[in-house]
Amino acid sequence: MPDAARPPRHVLILGGTTEARRLAAALAPEPAGAPEPAPAPECALRVTTSLAGRVAAPRLPAGEVRIGGFGGPEGLARWLREHAVDALIDATHPFADTISHNAALAAATAHVPLLAVRRPGWVPGPGDAWHQVTSLDEAAAALPALGTRIFLTTGRMGLSHFAHLTGLWFLVRSVDAPEPPHPPRMEVLLDRGPFTVEGERALLRAHRIDVLVTKDSGAAATAAKLTAAREAGVPVVVVRRPPVPDGVPVVEEPEAAAEWLRGLFSAAGSH
Ligand code: NAP
């Protein structure tokens, strides 16, 4: 039972992912219909999710929400102190590298325990023709040798890395419309997952795609394109993820993060 005398513990979730929404739904005082709620810690919780504000109409998580940058690691550390945050969960996208480093610095400065939630990456299977690269620039450099009709699913923010590829045609899928610079020959498909194998198959066929480019997001909601590419014999350029900052503990699932919080708060409560 929550201890009524103690102020609620404040958890800040750095979000923008399915995992962050699942965690918020499991932890927030009135869970908003999480499909498989994780066991929440037994003390009273105040849950705030932070979103960067990149998407015009974001899917909002349960609990409190704040939107917009903090102003670097110093700004985040200040926010942690001013809002009396007891635990910080970095549940951002595996490729949101800057905010993850900012979180590590800010948590250390403000003496707030930090945990990262990272879904597992994708693993190539039999029949996959993957070209693994470490950056969008490397992905762009690999393309001319692989094909001419490219399905680009790496997000609208990185399109400038492909802008010089004037000889290739791109199908660009993103949540919001991209802005220049971008490749001169492209069609934009505004959509967000989850996607089906059937739908991805139809897209590859309709646009005569001969190369797929993806980040190793590792999300089930967007994995169908890999199956469709394997079936069609389409090579896939996979951008590997940056590592989690040194010293930050990592779990793969929101349920494990809820368990970590439970351990943290019960250990702190026993002092
Ligand atoms: P990023 O490059 O790591 O961060 C750039 C700056 O954006 C940060 O320095 C921070 O600004 C602000 N920021 C990022 N995430 C934030 C958050 N959750 N709350 C408040 N400020 C945040 O980030 P990104 O790759 O642009 O991703 C932005 C957001 O989109 C993240 O929340 C991420 O989970 C989500 N997302 C990213 C991808 C992707 O492929 N990168 C895909 C899907 C969703 P200040 O320094 O001013 O604090």
Give the tens place of pLDDT for each residue, 99-137.
999 999 999 999 999 999 999 999 999 999 999 999 999
Could you tell me which residues are beta bridge partners of residue 50? 14, 66
* Residue 227 sits in the same domain as residue 256: no
DSSP-based three-state secondary structure for 157: helix
271 pLDDT higher than 90? no
* Residue 152 sits in the same domain as residue 233: yes
Task: Work out which ligand 1 atom sits closest to the CA atom of 55.
Answer: 30
* Residue 190 sits in the same domain as residue 249: no
For the chain, the average pLDDT equals: 93
Q: What is the pLDDT of residue 52?
A: 97
Distance 93 CA to ligand 1 centre (A): 8
Asked whether residue 125 is assigned to any structural domain, the reply reads no
* Residue 216 sits in the same domain as residue 250: no
Residue with the larger pLDDT of the pair 5 and 257: 257
Asked whether residue 86 is assigned to any structural domain, the reply reads yes
Q: What is the pLDDT of residue 22?
A: 97
Q: Whose CA is nearest to atom 13 of ligand 1?
A: 52
Q: Are 133 and 235 in contact (CB under 8 A)?
A: no
Mean per-residue pLDDT for 37-62? 86
> Confidence band (pLDDT; 50, 70, 90) for 219?
confident
Mean per-residue pLDDT for 189-213? 97
Asked whether residue 3 is assigned to any structural domain, the reply reads no
Distance 208 CA to ligand 1 centre (A): 33
Residue with the larger pLDDT of the pair 204 and 220: 204
Asked whether residue 15 is assigned to any structural domain, the reply reads yes
Mean per-residue pLDDT for 187-216? 97
* Residue 87 sits in the same domain as residue 157: no
Asked whether residue 261 is assigned to any structural domain, the reply reads yes
* Residue 251 sits in the same domain as residue 222: no
Asked whether residue 2 is assigned to any structural domain, the reply reads no
* Residue 17 sits in the same domain as residue 102: yes
* Residue 102 sits in the same domain as residue 235: no
Range of the domain at 172: 130-239
Q: Are 26 and 37 in contact (CB under 8 A)?
A: yes
Mean per-residue pLDDT for 190-209? 96
Task: Work out which ligand 1 atom sits closest to the CA atom of 50.
Answer: 19
Asked whether residue 4 is assigned to any structural domain, the reply reads no
Question: Which CATH number does the domain housing residue 194 bear?
Answer: 3.40.50
Asked whether residue 1 is assigned to any structural domain, the reply reads no
* Residue 15 sits in the same domain as residue 80: yes
> Confidence band (pLDDT; 50, 70, 90) for 78?
very high
Task: Give me the half-sphere count of Cα atoms (radius 13 Å) on the Cβ side of residue 160.
Answer: 4
Task: Work out which ligand 1 atom sits closest to the CA atom of 70.
Answer: 48
Q: What is the pLDDT of residue 32?
A: 47
Q: How many domains does the chain have?
A: 2
Among residues 233, 240, 151, 236, the alpha carbon closest in space to that of 188 is found at 151
If one residue of 98, 135, 216 were mutated to test the ligand 1 pocket, choosing by the most ligand atoms within 8 A of its CB, it would be 98
> Confidence band (pLDDT; 50, 70, 90) for 267?
confident
* Residue 86 sits in the same domain as residue 25: yes
Contacts of 60 (CB under 8 A, 6+ apart): none
* Residue 45 sits in the same domain as residue 86: yes
Q: What is the pLDDT of residue 7?
A: 85
Distance 251 CA to ligand 1 centre (A): 19
What is the percent of the chain where pLDDT is above 90?
Answer: 87
Distance 53 CA to ligand 1 centre (A): 8
Q: Which residues line ligand 1 (CB under 6 A)?
A: 14-17, 50-52, 54, 69-72, 75-76, 92-93, 95-99, 102, 155, 157, 215
Distance 92 CA to ligand 1 centre (A): 7
Q: What is the pLDDT of residue 34?
A: 47
Q: What is the pTM of this model?
A: 0.90
Q: What is the pLDDT of residue 29?
A: 64
* Residue 75 sits in the same domain as residue 137: no
